Structure 1
Amino acid sequence: MPYPSSAESADPRGSADFVIRNGTVLTLDRAGRRASALAARHGRILAVGGDREISELAGPDTVILDLAGRTAIPGFVESHSHPVFFGLSLAAAVDAGTPPNESVADLVERVAQAVRDAGPGEWIRGYRYDDTLLSDARHPGRADLDPVSPDNPVLLTHVSGHFCVANSAALRSAGITADTPDPPGGRIARDEHGAPSGLLIESAAFLVSSRLPGQDAGTLADALRLAGAEYARHGVTSVHDTGIGLVGGHDELAAYRRVRTAGQLRTRMTGYLFHELLAGMPAAAPGDVTDAGDPDDRFRLTGIKLIADGSLQGLTGCLADGYTCAPGEHGMMLLEPEDLARRIAAYDGAGWQVAVHGNGDAAIEAIIDAYARLGTPPGRSRRHRIEHCQTVREDQLARMAGHDVLASFFIKHVYYWGDRHRDRFLGPERARRISPLASARRAGVRFGLHSDTPVTPVPPLEGIWCAVARRTRDGFELGPEQAVDVTTALRGYTAEAAYLAGEEADKGTLEPGKLADLTILTADPTTAGAERLRAISVAATIVGGEVVYSGGGTQ
């Protein structure tokens, strides 16, 4: 049934404009307090307590939501996501994922259908193909795509976001030939004759993606709206956009301005600019970047995003020891250590928080080294971050704690790629340590959790289940010693995720004075049991005391 919402008359002396009651309220504060009701006024929490005392704060115009035994928690904070990329993938003509595609032939047929539906010369976009799940166990190439699309440019983006495949028409549009050199931090894959095969690795992918038409501010704003609706549907009230500009450059900031001005940002956005957007103004401070308008409680810029290495599943994550399937391959640094350290120092000096993508332990070492050079300022935390942090070692966790470096762990790797990390990429011992939450907690490293959408699906409850159960797609328990309890996992998507962006005074727990951002669940995750966590539904999502999503169903 739909989530109930009604206005009821109560004590006219009350001051709340929004109340929830008759359920369980998990505050997730440090004391672990629980209540049954909550009141809010002007978008912020007024009081948390029992039904009777909270009802006394209601007035004649108060909106009262009856939880009917359901559970309210702080709104989920997604600490690493790509809203524009996500929205574009939702709108794409080709769903290149597995499922539904089992082979390269399946992908080609979907492209062929999109070409039949498209106009002459129209670009065909697809997202989420995964070569390691296709029965062919390979990337598609221009030789596969050209027969069904000789004239329409085709670009298929890998599920990791670190590769793409282009047909000959798309390669021509970007001027890529056999004579085109590999760009810094990337590689153009070539066939036995030296001609481009269609596969573009890391920065080489931008040679084509930067030529895509129709990625103006209006299109990107539509993508933000699509993504926002999906975040809200899964209980996400705040998103860290870790890479504004990766897809559409400065037009992404203009898109945010459009959506904000129209009052259409369903979730709050905390922005981390892709560092290339500051090219030409390396000393720019957060207040100097005004493309998205003045900051408010729905959008603010706080950080810079750098990318140190690639992806483990693409063999471009930079490892100290080689890949199990290719012992001589160690991956690649997209920014060399000295360049990385120089950039981090410059952005830190300008007042930015820095978030650096690091998957392999060699890349993580370079990131920690760069942060360590900054020193520790007296009386404050820099709160610089390592994103994904997949293969971080015990010695590196100790160094991170010593230098107050935070982590945002890509916990869903355990489920979505755990089997392949164990059997192909990393081997059993390194694979069992991916996203080592228990070790990080023991070392004193503060961390949030994320889904990296659209790389994996949004639902935070799935990520919480991954942190607690450590189960792979094939049902294997991967590194159970790195599992954490449900409350720790919940905090990784709420209180600790808010801390990662310096927003803990406003978000992450349900306490008076904080923003009235809540997620209403159909069951209490702390009592549901590990295996039922993924089955819990989001009944409603509330941002600033306003319902932005209302679902239905009970368990």
Structure 2
Amino acid sequence: MIKKIIPAVVGLSLLAGCGSNTENKVSIEPKATKVDKAHLYYNGDIIPMSTLQPSTVEAVVEQQGKIVYVGNLAKAKDQFSNIEHVDLQGRTLLPGFIDPHSHFGMVSNTMGQVDLNPPPVGTISSIEQMLAALKAYKAENNIAEGEWIYGWGYDESQLTDKRHPNKLELDEALPNNPVYIQHTSGHMGVANSLALEKMQVSAATKNPEGGMIGRLPNSNEPNGLVQETAMYPFVGHMLQVLNSKQAEFFEQTQDFYAAKGITTAQDGMTDREAIRFFQSQADQGKLKIDLVSLAGFSELESNLKDASLKFKDYKNGFKVQGTKIIADGSPQGKTAYFTQPYLTKVEGCQTDCKGLPSLSQDTLNDLFKLAYKADNQLFIHANGDASIDMIIKAHEVASKALKQPVDKNRRTVVIHSQFVRPDQLETFKKYNIEPSFFTNHAYFWGDVHVENLGKQRANFLSPIVSADKLGLKYTNHSDAMVTPVDPLFTVWSAVNRLSRSGKIIGAEQQASPYQALQAITSHAAYQLFEEDSKGTLEVGKAADFVVLDKNPLTVKPMQIRDIKVVQTIKNGKPIYQINSKATDATQ
């Protein structure tokens, strides 16, 4: 469990780092009063993330939740008299991490589900273990007959069985409970017979547009697997069932994010009921971190007509930034949409299997026109290059129809952009579209991508180096619950691009540690139109800090994932700190 924060400002620790000539002056009263007591952070590697190349500064001063000084230590001591000194003791201070894309609500909901993840996240390596875990969960939680049971995180590619479970196996384990288990990708799942019956899926049910219902051999009878749009009824019902526990897990989920150094989190696709819940928590003063949500595209038209829904503006630490569209599926689940086919067998497809677009081109065009007309920022999920082609086309169609420049400062974000082509990256730059990458895939499914897509496509997944050369302000995310919330692991995966088997997936795209840090600090702020208030250590910005026990820029690349978050500070106030023997360093 995450430790509760003690209110005292504690002493922290440093490694030797880069020299710096970065300094921000401050235009406030030169001597702070007792009421306006300031905190001076010094004696550590303070990395402002405000320069194109790595640099450090000697001191940062926080006052009333804002950064009021960045620069020389002696000048800071001279300028402020009523000040509390915080000795970093050699540790590293960075801007608080900004989560470019995860699913805060779903992370919270997993706390009421069975963990079916394979190692190293979980312990499930076979269907037999999965079924045993589901049965044990029912017994341990005294779940009555007839109540829904949910699991999350299974990954058939990591099971010894090398296949999805089916409804018959789930029926045998839990015959009297409706069961739905979510794939780790979040783009498919498996239901047992009772769950299929309750969601009215039968042999007579046709595949929905953009989705697929798995069938038993030589039969139209569902086998339990539902992919993409076919899973929507199951996920929607799951959220209704679990919504009653949202308040119970809300604080715990915030603590979970804060423990990873995150001061701004994202809920990557939020329905209106969840938006109302998040805002109610914010209005009650329950937010420790900032929370940004993306409204679902199915409600786009009604959302834009609702005067009570204000996009892009924080209210008590919560805001709805824009709209999330799902354009295709997952590459490891073989539902991402490509211009070239998968190299391995795709369930439910016989020939020329290229995955599934979730929407038609016409529908995507209409959504873009609707959003762009209202200046509503779009965040579009797209993994395969064919779906990215569709997005570029929709962008062009909407811009032309509305007589808007194609490079208008909309900051449309293509979430994942995993298998974007080099020519598409150039178009992103030309059209002011930004990618949010997902380098964790190199570790979790890099070997699978090589098998399914071939080395050339796999090696160019989430190409941070190429994006950086073009001057794109890319980000890099966890997509939790697809992979764990852990920004430092995300940095590690971007720098090393190492697979589970120890192979490097695309050495040419191995990012520098600084590039990887930009993707969760300064660039992440930019994509959310918050570059004036967050993402770097500069005067006037929020005093959102993370303190690490080691410097990601100076440790060996393979050691980055072992770095610990010592303390997380939001608006000048500690919201997490590691259980440490450090003592108060106030002078």
Q: Give the TM-score normalised by structure 1.
A: 0.92
Tell me which residue corresponds to 1:264: 286
- Report if aligned partners of 2:312, 2:320 keep a CA contact under 8 Å in 1: no
Tell me which residue corresponds to 1:139: 164
**Pair 1:181-2:216 in alignment:** no
- Deviations for 1:222-263, whole angstroms, at most 9, x for unmatched residues? 344332111100101112322112xxxx22112202321232
Does the residue aligned with 1:146 lie in a helix, a strand or coil?
A: helix
The within-5 A match list for 1:489-504 is 489-504=516-531
- Report if aligned partners of 2:114, 2:152 keep a CA contact under 8 Å in 1: no
Does the residue aligned with 2:332 lie in a helix, a strand or coil?
A: helix
- Deviations for 1:459-491, whole angstroms, at most 9, x for unmatched residues? 111111111112111111111111221111110
Counterparts of 1:212 and 1:532 in 2: how far apart (Å)? 39
- Report if aligned partners of 1:83, 1:223 keep a CA contact under 8 Å in 2: no
**Pair 1:412-2:440 in alignment:** yes
- Residues 501 and 156 (structure 1), Cα distance of their counterparts in 2 relative to 1, 3 Å cut: same
- Report if aligned partners of 1:87, 1:222 keep a CA contact under 8 Å in 2: no
Tell me which residue corresponds to 2:554: 527
**Pair 1:382-2:410 in alignment:** yes
Does the residue aligned with 2:172 lie in a helix, a strand or coil?
A: coil
Q: 1:336 corresponds to which letter in structure 2? A: S
Counterparts of 1:40 and 1:431 in 2: how far apart (Å)? 44
Tell me which residue corresponds to 1:164: 189
- Residues 108 and 472 (structure 1), Cα distance of their counterparts in 2 relative to 1, 3 Å cut: same
- Deviations for 1:141-182, whole angstroms, at most 9, x for unmatched residues? 111111121111111100000011111111122122211222
Of residues 221, 232, 236, the one that matches 1:210 is 236
Tell me which residue corresponds to 1:19: 40
Which shifted more, 472-481 or 45-54?
45-54
User: Aligned-pair distance for 1:276?
Assistant: 1.6
User: Aligned-pair distance for 1:516?
Assistant: 0.6
Does the residue aligned with 1:397 lie in a helix, a strand or coil?
A: helix
- Residues 488 and 506 (structure 1), Cα distance of their counterparts in 2 relative to 1, 3 Å cut: same
- Report if aligned partners of 2:495, 2:512 keep a CA contact under 8 Å in 1: yes
Does the residue aligned with 2:396 lie in a helix, a strand or coil?
A: helix
- Report if aligned partners of 1:129, 1:159 keep a CA contact under 8 Å in 2: yes
User: Aligned-pair distance for 1:42?
Assistant: 2.1
The within-5 A match list for 1:364-379 is 364-373=388-397, 374=399, 377=405
Which shifted more, 292-301 or 89-98?
292-301
Tell me which residue corresponds to 1:40: 62
Which shifted more, 250-259 or 475-484?
250-259
**Pair 1:252-2:238 in alignment:** no
- Report if aligned partners of 2:118, 2:158 keep a CA contact under 8 Å in 1: no
Q: 2:125 corresponds to which letter in structure 1? A: E
**Pair 1:340-2:359 in alignment:** no
Of residues 75, 80, 91, the one that matches 1:70 is 91
- Report if aligned partners of 2:413, 2:527 keep a CA contact under 8 Å in 1: yes
Of residues 532, 537, 549, the one that matches 2:576 is 549
- Report if aligned partners of 1:153, 1:168 keep a CA contact under 8 Å in 2: yes
Q: Which runs of no fewer than 5 residues in structure 1 stay unpaired? A: none
Counterparts of 2:9 and 2:439 in 1: how far apart (Å)? 38
Over aligned residue pairs, what C-alpha RMSD do you find? 2.6
**Pair 1:120-2:145 in alignment:** yes
Does the residue aligned with 2:237 lie in a helix, a strand or coil?
A: coil
Q: 1:172 corresponds to which letter in structure 2? A: E
- Residues 260 and 322 (structure 1), Cα distance of their counterparts in 2 relative to 1, 3 Å cut: same
Counterparts of 1:378 and 1:308 in 2: how far apart (Å)? 20
Tell me which residue corresponds to 1:318: 337
User: Aligned-pair distance for 1:378?
Assistant: 9.2
The within-5 A match list for 1:222-233 is 222-233=248-259
User: Aligned-pair distance for 1:77?
Assistant: 0.9
Counterparts of 2:533 and 2:384 in 1: how far apart (Å)? 33
Tell me which residue corresponds to 1:449: 476
Counterparts of 1:293 and 1:300 in 2: how far apart (Å)? 6
- Deviations for 1:273-326, whole angstroms, at most 9, x for unmatched residues? 1112335x27437x5426x99733621112100010000011110010000114
- Report if aligned partners of 1:220, 1:251 keep a CA contact under 8 Å in 2: no
Counterparts of 1:293 and 1:410 in 2: how far apart (Å)? 24
Does the residue aligned with 1:105 lie in a helix, a strand or coil?
A: helix
- Deviations for 1:104-140, whole angstroms, at most 9, x for unmatched residues? 0110111111232312222111110001100101111
Of residues 479, 496, 507, the one that matches 1:469 is 496
Of residues 425, 428, 438, the one that matches 1:400 is 428
Does the residue aligned with 1:343 lie in a helix, a strand or coil?
A: helix
Q: 1:132 corresponds to which letter in structure 2? A: S
Number of residue pairs matched by the alignment? 545
- Residues 551 and 377 (structure 1), Cα distance of their counterparts in 2 relative to 1, 3 Å cut: same
- Report if aligned partners of 2:270, 2:296 keep a CA contact under 8 Å in 1: yes
Tell me which residue corresponds to 1:299: 318
Counterparts of 2:385 and 2:407 in 1: how far apart (Å)? 30
- Residues 496 and 94 (structure 1), Cα distance of their counterparts in 2 relative to 1, 3 Å cut: closer
Q: 2:369 corresponds to which letter in structure 1? A: A
Q: Give the TM-score normalised by structure 2.
A: 0.87
Counterparts of 1:484 and 1:16 in 2: how far apart (Å)? 40
Counterparts of 1:545 and 1:181 in 2: how far apart (Å)? 55
- Report if aligned partners of 1:97, 1:127 keep a CA contact under 8 Å in 2: no
Counterparts of 1:35 and 1:293 in 2: how far apart (Å)? 32
Counterparts of 1:40 and 1:213 in 2: how far apart (Å)? 40
Tell me which residue corresponds to 1:194: 220
- Residues 35 and 125 (structure 1), Cα distance of their counterparts in 2 relative to 1, 3 Å cut: same
Counterparts of 2:575 and 2:568 in 1: how far apart (Å)? 6
Name the % identity: 31
Counterparts of 2:433 and 2:183 in 1: how far apart (Å)? 30
Does the residue aligned with 1:302 lie in a helix, a strand or coil?
A: strand
- Report if aligned partners of 2:383, 2:417 keep a CA contact under 8 Å in 1: yes
Q: Which runs of no fewer than 5 residues in structure 2 stay unpaired? A: 12-30, 346-350, 583-587
Does the residue aligned with 2:461 lie in a helix, a strand or coil?
A: coil
Tell me which residue corresponds to 2:245: 219
Tell me which residue corresponds to 2:28: none
- Residues 179 and 324 (structure 1), Cα distance of their counterparts in 2 relative to 1, 3 Å cut: same
Q: 2:138 corresponds to which letter in structure 1? A: V
Counterparts of 2:327 and 2:473 in 1: how far apart (Å)? 21
Counterparts of 1:218 and 1:232 in 2: how far apart (Å)? 23
- Report if aligned partners of 2:7, 2:574 keep a CA contact under 8 Å in 1: no
Q: 2:549 corresponds to which letter in structure 1? A: T
Q: 1:91 corresponds to which letter in structure 2? A: G
Tell me which residue corresponds to 1:234: 260
